[in-house]
């Protein structure tokens, strides 16, 4: 379990305007890994009324560095992407819940704006308070492998 405090995340002082768009699943279908904290496993297994070991065996493996991640099924981007939505939305992993406020996205305006290429929620909706942005990015930094 990676819950040692790591470095403090750098958060740029610009406006983080964001609103997730109904019907969009672009962040679920981008290339890349979904890493899991131990809490993620506990919550998702409970949500699915499965045992944690059963969940790990069905949906997870370890990468070459020993970090726990979701496996990718052969026929779609994620085991839990069903009918255009996350079927474990209420218990989805921290990495998914925190998107787009990942440490590598929030330090510089350029990195944030680059996300608008695949996330239509960037730059629309309310300005998210900086302390909320920082809390989400720091939670990822503390609980997940660094990207
Ligand atoms: S890509 Fe952006 S708008 Fe689309 S589901 Fe993900 S967070 Fe929401
Ligand atoms: S767990 Fe849910 S939110 Fe995360 S990638 Fe899979 S379908 Fe998308």
Using a CB cutoff of 8 Å and minimum separation of 24, what contacts does 72-80 make? 77/28, 77/29, 78/28, 78/29, 78/34
Tokens of 63: 């990468």
Whether residue 100 is preceded by a cis peptide bond, meaning omega within 30 degrees of 0, is: yes
Pocket residue to mutate for ligand 1, from 16, 18, 21, most atoms within 8 A of Cβ: 21
What is the mean predicted confidence (pLDDT) over 15-22? 97
**Is the backbone of residue 49 left (phi > 0), alpha (psi -120 to 50) or beta?**
left
pLDDT tens digits along 98-126 = 999 999 999 999 999 999 999 999 999 99
Residue 53 lies in a domain: yes
> Considering the entire predicted model, what is its pTM?
0.94
Domain tally, the chain: 1
Ligand 1 in reach of 29 Cβ (< 6 A): no
Q: Does residue 61 form part of some domain?
A: yes
- 6 falls within a domain: no
List the residue whose alpha carbon is closest to atom 5 of ligand 2. Answer: 28
Instruction: Note down the domain range covering 27.
Output: 17-143
Tokens in use for 76?
């779609």
Residue range 120-133: mean pLDDT, rounded: 97
pLDDT one-digit tens code per residue, 48-61: 999 999 999 999 99
Examine residue 8 and state whether it is found in any structural domain, yes or no.
Answer: no
Residue 12 lies in a domain: no
């Amino acid at each position: 379990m990676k819950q040692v405090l790591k470095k403090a995340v750098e958060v740029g002082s610009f406006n983080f305007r964001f609103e997730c768009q109904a019907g969009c699943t672009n962040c679920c279908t981008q290339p890349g890994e979904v890493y899991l904290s131990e809490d993620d496993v506990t919550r998702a297994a409970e949500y699915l009324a499965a045992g944690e070991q059963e969940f790990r065996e069905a949906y997870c493996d370890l990468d070459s560095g020993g970090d726990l991640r979701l496996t990718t099924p052969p026929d779609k981007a994620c085991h839990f992407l069903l009918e255009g939505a996350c079927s474990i939305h209420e218990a989805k992993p921290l990495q998914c819940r925190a998107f787009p406020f990942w440490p590598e996205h929030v330090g510089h305006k350029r990195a944030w704006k680059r996300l608008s290429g695949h996330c239509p929620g960037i730059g629309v909706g309310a300005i998210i308070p900086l302390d909320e942005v920082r809390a989400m990015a720091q939670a990822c930094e503390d609980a997940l492998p660094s990207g």
